[in-house]
Amino acid sequence: MPFQHATGPFLEPLRVAIHLALNRLPGPLAAFVLFGLKQAWACLFGGAMLGLLITTKYLWSPDWPVHRYDALFAAAILIQAAMLVFRLETLEEVKVIFVYHVVGTLMEVFKVHVGSWAYPEASIVQIAGVPLFSGFMYGSVGSYMARVIRVFDMRFARFPAPLWTFLLATAIYLNFFLHHFTYDTRILLFVATVLVYGRVRIHFTVGHSVYWMPLVLAAFLTSFFMWVAENVGTFTGTWVYPGQEVWHLVSLQKMGSWYLLLFISFTLVTLVVPIRGPDVQAPSN
């Protein structure tokens, strides 16, 4: 069931209702719906953040004593605390969010400084013009990856040696900085992701069935949804790119950036969520 990893009696009626509804559907359709529900559950923190971007865009007034960005920062902390208190997220997943928050904020400071994008509104809780809520947008990606591994009971076949994954993640991260001054190596990095992860299969559970998907394909598909989320951010004016005085869709090239960033996310997640092979049993909760 999609919420089998969440605890708390308040979720039990929801579990029962979903179970009854899925039993009325044909098998393949039930599996497809269940897959979508599990994905939505894994996106809980990220979805909450996107909801806040949209809500505050239309409800917030610039005359209010608290800046919108600062309210987003406070709301993100409260959501994070609530998810931990109600055991909707594990302490390990919170660690991932914190690490990715730091890594993402450092990159944000640099990217804003060189003019890659900008935050047009005022804020008090910020570093060098970067509101600190922005780190939670990166953290939501780390949260998703840690949660999706748990929610789908993912196992990884033919996983590469950690040395190669960390070298690749480091090279990707450095290129986001260095390409402003030297050659942009992202084409080589795309090739490297296939060389390092091309043989990796993700085995995941939906209901009582186990499926598999190439990890590189999963990263590509996820990068599309990251691109959709990016468009939500720019549509709400939360951040803007050069030339977006009138809103338009973010370039599809950003999918490539998110594709590469996902491998950084995945490597950070492996620091606190051990990679398990297909025959390794999940630890008991």
Query: Tens digits of per-residue pLDDT, 85-108?
Result: 888 888 877 887 888 888 889 999
Distant-in-sequence, close-in-space partners of 58: CB < 8 Å, separation ≥ 6: none
Residue labelled with tokens 């899925």: 22
Distant-in-sequence, close-in-space partners of 274: CB < 8 Å, separation ≥ 6: none
Out of 7-21, 49-63, 108-122, least confident range: 7-21
Size of the chain in residues? 285
pLDDT band at 280 (very low <50, low <70, confident <90, very high): low
pTM: 0.88
Whether the per-residue pLDDT at 6 is higher than 60: the answer is no
pLDDT digits (tens, 9 = 90+) for 61-85: 989 999 999 999 999 999 999 988 8
Q: Are 147 and 93 in contact (CB under 8 A)?
A: yes
C-alpha–C-alpha distance, residues 283 and 281, integer Å: 6
| CA 196 to each of CA 101, 140, 278: distance values in angstroms, whole numbers, following the listed order | 26, 25, 19
**What percent of the chain stands above pLDDT 90?**
65
Residue labelled with tokens 């302490």: 91
